[in-house]
Amino acid sequence: MRVVGLTGGIASGKSTVVSTILSLNVPVIDCDVLARLVVEPGHSAYKKLAAHFGNEIFQNQEIGQPLDRAKLGSIIFTDASQRRVVNSIIHPAVRDEILKRLLKYWIKGTSLVVIDVPLLLEGELWRIVSEVIVVYCPPEVQLARIQSRDGLTAQEAQARIDSQRPLIEKVDYADHVIYNISDLDTLKNSTLQVMKDIKPNPIWTVLGYFPPFTLLMATWVIVKRHLKGDPRKTVTNGNRSSVSTSAPPKQKKV
């Protein structure tokens, strides 16, 4: 089973990419859904958040009530230290849920699974997937979309963008880049091309039924990522296995 990580940024067009992937009957594990699941009352992550923040982040400011996401968001989008605390609580819980679902797909004989992870890089999950797909759009487009979609001021929208790693840095980690700089049809066609490129060979899918082979391949993926290291420099088109447009973003100074 090939496991691919998909990431992007807020308002980058990733939702359209996910919809296109689902239209191919490729399962997608939505980590936003899992992140909401692990902070429901009674979950260990919920208890850890309560221990750190007290009752102010819960509805009616009462522990035992659902999370007040707007309140928590107002804290972590403006305070990097608090954001790191929340990530250190939620990321491990989400990883556990991902592994449970991957095991189920492997048992079912699924050949390809995409994990939709907004924080694929921040949560270090890029180290355990065979390939990384990044959906990119220019920062000014992100800003305009967030303002229009969420009714935010430019300052509020920029704070949400700044809470994530810049998209240009995420491109550095990519094996495949989908540049969302045109219309929806182009975005969908680019997604289809990338999915065609990463479609696993049926022979490898059959071999994946054998636990020793699966363990060997999983180990190879982790070792390969470790040897590749953490990309801190902008890569060129020649380093990427597939690119969805001939107009990549400007290179970032490092």
Q: How far apart are CA 218 and CA 13, in angstroms?
A: 30
* Same-domain status, 89 and 168: no
* Same-domain status, 85 and 156: no
Counted domains in the chain: 2
Domain of residue 125: give its range. Answer: 1-27+110-248
Is there a domain that residue 254 lies in?
no
Is there a domain that residue 180 lies in?
yes
* Same-domain status, 62 and 185: no
Residue with tokens 């995420």: 170
CB 105 within 8 A of CB 113: yes
Between 57-71, 106-120, 181-195, 230-244, the lowest mean confidence (pLDDT) is in 230-244
> By percentage, how much of the chain surpasses pLDDT 70?
83
* Same-domain status, 176 and 214: yes
Greater confidence, 70 or 232?
A: 70
Is there a domain that residue 16 lies in?
yes
| Model pTM score | 0.78
Greater confidence, 232 or 57?
A: 57
156-177 residue pLDDT tens: 889 888 888 889 889 988 999 9
Residue 204 pLDDT level (bands cut at 50, 70, 90):
low
DSSP per-residue letters across 107-169: HHT-SEEEEE-TTTTTTTGGGGSSEEEEEE--HHHHHHHHHHHH---HHHHHHHHHTS--HHH
* Same-domain status, 119 and 210: yes
Greater confidence, 226 or 153?
A: 153
Residue 233 has pLDDT above 50, yes or no: no
pLDDT at 253: 32
Among candidate residues 109, 140, 170, the one where a domain is terminated: 109
Q: Are strands 176-179 and 131-136 parallel, antiparallel or unpaired?
A: parallel
* Same-domain status, 13 and 58: no
Between 16-20, 189-193, 216-220, the lowest mean confidence (pLDDT) is in 216-220
* Same-domain status, 150 and 238: yes
Greater confidence, 172 or 122?
A: 172
* Same-domain status, 62 and 73: yes
Q: How far apart are CA 124 and CA 161, in angstroms?
A: 19
pLDDT at 209: 62
Rounded mean pLDDT, 212-237? 64
Is there a domain that residue 94 lies in?
yes
* Same-domain status, 116 and 213: yes
177-203 residue pLDDT tens: 999 988 899 999 999 999 999 988 777
Residue closest to 12 by CA, chosen among 151, 180, 168: 180
Among candidate residues 82, 109, 136, the one where a domain is terminated: 109
Rounded mean pLDDT, 240-250? 43
Is there a domain that residue 253 lies in?
no
Among candidate residues 109, 142, 171, the one where a domain is terminated: 109
Rounded mean pLDDT, 23-52? 93
* Same-domain status, 1 and 83: no
Is there a domain that residue 65 lies in?
yes
Rounded mean pLDDT, 229-252? 45
Q: How far apart are CA 142 and CA 138, in angstroms?
A: 7
* Same-domain status, 119 and 103: no
Write the CATH number for 200. 3.40.50.300
Is there a domain that residue 179 lies in?
yes
* Same-domain status, 216 and 188: yes
